[in-house]
């Protein structure tokens, strides 16, 4: 009986392959055996007319016993799958990339995970992250609270990288009194590829899930080498490269820490408490993010912000827009629509006191987004509008740090 | 007679100041004398009841003779002022920052410039850069061509930093057959402040304006120290910090070179030719830049793109949007509206072949923005639509490098 983890030789049509048998995926034909070659690549081989020789059995026994130790210590974590590259694999019949369809596939795609901790894996939903919507954020927040209040030491969420930072910041605002770490993790290469970051990222996430970090974090490669992950604060992280493994970067703040063989925290972080975790998922999705450019006309601006309950502007520099838009901004605020200024520079803080344009915006009542990323300010405003309707309360909460999204130590340099 | 450049002692109300007399600004009261203190700060002192003692005369003579050498060599450059911090100063009666109002103020704000070259300075317009519009780009392109074809060795454009990268890329597309360098320069601190980057940036820009660089470039501090500027390619540079002196960063490409005591080019660059410089300013401003977020509804997308002649999407990751927007994209393209995909990650390239969402977008006819910055793709599409109306021609030009905006050597890493 050949099982996943066994090292085998396959001979077929005069060719020979050596490698470790990978777990079977639901979408792969039953006649396809996937093995991980010594060079790290996976290949799928039809077993029709193939001779398969067992070279040595996999080391399942020892893994199981380590897992038992974790189990006895009660250190069980939840792995919630949402889709994305990290839990996907190549269907070797068609070449297409599929998400893991079952909890087993999700967990099995990275068996090394069980060396670190005992895991209950399940699929919450299955989406490429570009398809994730605010209602998915709510669902996920509720599932996380359920797991933490149900006794899990921590929660890992595997997520597509495209919108992972949006989801992370939404969870950071929605989840209160965290009694366990919430760690989001993704990968830029599917686990089939030898250059995959899936293994290391997921194992690093598991290590973080076993700490006392009472914040939502994103754990991803710190560089293109495989020896370290950063622990990013959910509200300060942004995907800054379309393809590199170190695409995630903390902006306007240091990462919370790093993970190699062990977890190192760089400075202060919020610690887990012993109250029940609350998922406060009330949001108002009707918020516009207006990205200012010199080509944005007054008509464009008004069209974009019409019927919205809140507006985030990604302005230029210290927080500016063209002077002839200030009247439209003023009108929105007079009508009770909060308008928050952020900077499209991403790095650095808004400061509307330096130039005349900024002072006009302050006078019009624009809320200072300080050093918040435009996307994070948008998610925060959605969450604030789910709770508050009075302008001055909205302003106060938007300008106050709630979940690490405003770095009070941030100095203009 | 006390003149700018003289070192003086001022005594008033029992206090003493030592410093160099600064040129008088049009907006400052005639009764205010501005001196640069030894610590680098400027102060404005009312000369009413003040005693002013000349300590030593300024070194005007020697500067003039160096300037004469440049003059004889025919190395005269044009400095075109457009407003912004670099050519601004503090009115010491009110504390407000004003742009230089006359050519003399502009040139005089940095007298060290004349050590490097002979300069004809003039004001083209006077705007904080957040107020600059596409029609200003056209005006500027025509003025540059006039200067270069009129015999200037090169052109420096001083510009506010907020939208300098937009203007730079517009000039890069509009100006053909450059017969002299076009160097854009700004500063993050007004020249009144001891930490000002205005001096070093402008002098570095002048050094670049004397080379054979036949491209539009942006010259700004390479780090927070004052010893080096980078020469950024106009179509690859982005303002990446709201306040730091090294805010400008080349994205998806190396800078063209650096400037310290002299200019060093890192690799290949386009050299100036001997044809006449052409300002081809035909553009179509009716282009939308859609910044995708999970909160962007189908209605938002359609409202944003309605009646537009071209659309740039700043998608997620490798170039994605939510699946339920693909139909709206398809409809736009069927109606003859070009839609170009870029990535909001800024770094890295679009690749729509990897995931199913991308493949659907390719099938719908979306143009591949490759490694172009979203803002640069927008400016380019405005320029392309000023010349072409046939979809396949638009696609071909958008996907081909015209002015350094697509880095053909860019590899997905």
Nearest CA-CA distance, residue B364 and chain A, Å:
17
Which strands form B216-221's sheet, in the order they lie side by side?
A: B118-123, B76-81, B154-158, B182-185, B216-221, B229-233, B257-259, B263-265
The pairing of strands A32-37 and A42-46 is antiparallel
Q: What are the structure tokens assigned to A252, written together?
A: 């306007």
Nearest CA-CA distance, residue B29 and chain A, Å:
20
Full DSSP string of A265-315 = E-S--PBP-SSPPEE-------EEEEE--TT--HHHHHHHHTT-SEEEEEE
Mean pLDDT of B194-216: 89
Which range has the worst mean pLDDT, A56-65, A165-174, B143-152, B332-341? A56-65
3-state SS of B215-283?
A: CEEEEEECCCCCCCEEEEECCCEEECECCCCCCEEECCCCCCEEECCCEEECCCCCECCCCCCEECCCC
Determine whether the interchain pair A347/B317 forms a contact, defined as Cβ–Cβ distance below 8 Å: no
Give the pLDDT score at B62. Answer: 45
Nearest CA in chain A to B129: A322
Determine whether the interchain pair A348/B244 forms a contact, defined as Cβ–Cβ distance below 8 Å: yes
Determine whether the interchain pair B288/A303 forms a contact, defined as Cβ–Cβ distance below 8 Å: no
Q: Which of A165, A127, A155 is nearest to A279 (CA)?
A: A155
Report whether CATH 3.40.50.1170 matches the domain B60-279.
yes
- Most A CBs within 10 A among B91, B130, B136, B283, hence the mutation to make, goes to B130
Nearest CA in chain A to B299: A304
The strand ranges marked E within B94-161 are 97-99, 118-123, 154-158
* pTM of the predicted model over 0.90: no
Which residues of A are less than 8 Å from B240 in CB distance?
345-347
Closest CB to B132 among A294, A300, A319: A294
Q: What are the structure tokens assigned to A381, written together?
A: 């405003």
State phi, psi for A338 to the nearest 5 degrees. -70, 135
Determine whether the interchain pair A239/B317 forms a contact, defined as Cβ–Cβ distance below 8 Å: yes
Determine whether the interchain pair B320/A357 forms a contact, defined as Cβ–Cβ distance below 8 Å: no
Give the pLDDT score at B46. Answer: 82
Determine whether the interchain pair A317/B288 forms a contact, defined as Cβ–Cβ distance below 8 Å: no
Percent of chain B with pLDDT over 90: 63
Do B287-398 and B7-56 fall under one CATH topology?
no
Determine whether the interchain pair A318/B348 forms a contact, defined as Cβ–Cβ distance below 8 Å: no
- Most B CBs within 10 A among A243, A287, A288, hence the mutation to make, goes to A243
CA distance A106 to A233: 25
Nearest CA-CA distance, residue A167 and chain B, Å:
9
- What integer best gives the mean pLDDT of chain A? 88
Nearest CA-CA distance, residue A322 and chain B, Å:
5
The SS3 call for residue A235 is: coil
Give the pLDDT score at B109. Answer: 63
- Most A CBs within 10 A among B96, B162, B366, B385, hence the mutation to make, goes to B162
Nearest CA-CA distance, residue A243 and chain B, Å:
6
The SS3 call for residue B11 is: strand
Nearest CA-CA distance, residue B309 and chain A, Å:
13
Decide if B253 contacts B236 (C-beta within 8 A): yes
How many beta-carbon pairs below 8 A join chains A and B?
173
Closest CB to A348 among B133, B243, B375: B243
Nearest CA in chain B to A129: B322
CA distance A396 to A376: 16
By CB neighbour count within 10 A (0-12 exposed, 13-18 middle, 19+ buried), where does A52 fall? Answer: middle
Nearest CA in chain B to A195: B413
Closest CB to A350 among B239, B242, B288: B242
Which range has the worst mean pLDDT, A52-66, B39-53, B311-325? A52-66
Mean pLDDT of A373-386: 98
Which residues of B are less than 8 Å from A348 in CB distance?
241-244, 247
Chain center to CA of B193 = 21
Which range has the worst mean pLDDT, A89-93, A180-184, B283-287? A89-93
Mean pLDDT of B110-134: 85
Mean pLDDT of B167-173: 98
Span A189-225, pLDDT tens digits: 766 666 678 888 989 999 999 999 999 999 999 988 7
Q: Which of B249, B287, B252, B290 is nearest to B370 (CA)?
A: B252
Closest CB to B349 among A129, A242, A345: A242
Nearest CA-CA distance, residue A233 and chain B, Å:
18
Neighbour-count burial for A9-29, b at 16+ CB within 10 Å, e otherwise: ebeeeeeebebbbbbbbebbe
| Greater model confidence, A74 or A259 | A259
Whether pLDDT at B6 is above 50: yes
Is A120 a residue of the active site? no
Determine whether the interchain pair B347/A241 forms a contact, defined as Cβ–Cβ distance below 8 Å: yes
- Most A CBs within 10 A among B197, B288, B290, B317, hence the mutation to make, goes to B317
Span A319-351, pLDDT tens digits: 999 999 999 999 999 999 999 999 999 999 999
Nearest CA-CA distance, residue A269 and chain B, Å:
26
Q: Which CATH class is domain A287-398?
A: alpha beta
Decide if A34 contacts A92 (C-beta within 8 A): yes
Decide if B373 contacts A268 (C-beta within 8 A): no
- What integer best gives the mean pLDDT of chain B? 88
Does an H or E element contain A81, and which?
A: strand A76-81
* Catalytic residue of the set A6, A82, A153, A161: A161
Determine whether the interchain pair B287/A295 forms a contact, defined as Cβ–Cβ distance below 8 Å: yes
Determine whether the interchain pair A243/B289 forms a contact, defined as Cβ–Cβ distance below 8 Å: no
- Most A CBs within 10 A among B84, B223, B295, hence the mutation to make, goes to B295
Give the pLDDT score at B412. Answer: 45
List the domain boundaries for chain A: 7-56, 60-279, 287-398
Whether pLDDT at A413 is above 50: no
Determine whether the interchain pair A240/B345 forms a contact, defined as Cβ–Cβ distance below 8 Å: yes
Give the pLDDT score at A248. Answer: 97
Report whether CATH 2.40.100.10 matches the domain A7-56.
no
| Greater model confidence, A29 or B394 | B394
Closest CB to A128 among B162, B350, B355: B355
Residues of B marked active site are found at 85, 161-162, 239
Which residues of A are less than 8 Å from B167 in CB distance?
294
CA distance B124 to B271: 26
Determine whether the interchain pair B294/A134 forms a contact, defined as Cβ–Cβ distance below 8 Å: yes
Determine whether the interchain pair B291/A291 forms a contact, defined as Cβ–Cβ distance below 8 Å: yes
Which residues of A are less than 8 Å from B352 in CB distance?
none
| Greater model confidence, A210 or B107 | A210
Give the pLDDT score at A25. Answer: 57
CA distance B377 to B385: 12
Determine whether the interchain pair A133/B321 forms a contact, defined as Cβ–Cβ distance below 8 Å: no
Closest CB to B241 among A96, A128, A348: A348
Determine whether the interchain pair B348/A247 forms a contact, defined as Cβ–Cβ distance below 8 Å: yes
Mean pLDDT of B391-400: 98
Report the complex ipTM. Answer: 0.86
Whether pLDDT at A364 is above 70: yes
* Catalytic residue of the set A239, A360, A370, A380: A239
């Amino acid at each position: 009986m050949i099982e996943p983890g066994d090292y085998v030789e396959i001979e077929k049509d005069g060719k020979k392959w050596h490698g470790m048998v990978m777990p079977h995926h639901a979408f792969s034909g039953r006649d396809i055996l996937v093995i991980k070659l010594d060079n790290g690549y996976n290949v799928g081989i039809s077993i029709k007319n193939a001779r398969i020789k067992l070279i040595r059995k996999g080391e399942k026994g020892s893994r199981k016993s380590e897992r038992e130790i974790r189990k006895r210590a009660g250190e069980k974590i939840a792995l919630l799958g949402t889709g994305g590259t990290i839990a996907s694999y190549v269907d070797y019949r068609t070449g297409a990339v599929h998400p893991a369809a079952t909890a087993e596939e999700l967990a099995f795609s990275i068996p090394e995970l069980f060396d670190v901790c005992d895991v209950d894996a399940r699929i919450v939903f299955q989406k490429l992250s570009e398809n994730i919507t605010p209602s998915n954020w709510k669902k996920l927040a509720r599932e996380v609270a359920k797991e933490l209040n149900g006794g899990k030491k921590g929660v890992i969420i595997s997520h597509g990288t495209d919108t992972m930072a949006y989801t992370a910041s939404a969870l950071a605002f929605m989840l209160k009194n965290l009694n366990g770490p919430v760690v989001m993790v993704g990968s830029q290469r599917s686990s089939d590829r030898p250059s995959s970051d899936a293994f290391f990222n997921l194992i690093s996430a598991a290590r973080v899930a076993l700490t006392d970090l009472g914040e939502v974090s994103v754990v991803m490669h710190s560089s293109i080498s495989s020896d370290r992950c950063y622990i990013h604060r959910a509200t300060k992280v942004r995907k800054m490269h379309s393809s590199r493994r170190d695409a995630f970067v903390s902006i306007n703040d240091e990462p919370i820490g790093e993970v190699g063989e062990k977890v190192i925290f760089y400075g202060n972080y919020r610690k887990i408490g012993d109250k029940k975790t609350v998922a406060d998922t009330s949001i108002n999705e009707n918020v516009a993010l207006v990205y200012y450019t010199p080509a944005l006309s007054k008509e464009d601006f008004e069209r974009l912000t019409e019927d919205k309950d809140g507006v985030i502007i990604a302005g230029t520099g210290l927080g500016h827009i063209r002077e002839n838009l200030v009247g439209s901004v003023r009108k929105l605020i007079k009508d009770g629509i909060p308008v928050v200024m952020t900077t499209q520079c991403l790095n650095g803080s808004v400061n509307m006191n330096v130039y005349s344009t900024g002072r006009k915006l302050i006078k019009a009542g624009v809320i200072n987004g300080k050093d918040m990323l435009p996307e994070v300010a948008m998610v925060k405003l959605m969450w604030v509008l789910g709770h508050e309707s009075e302008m001055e309360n909205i302003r106060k909460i938007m300008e106050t740090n709630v979940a690490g999204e405003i770095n009070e130590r941030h100095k203009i340099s």
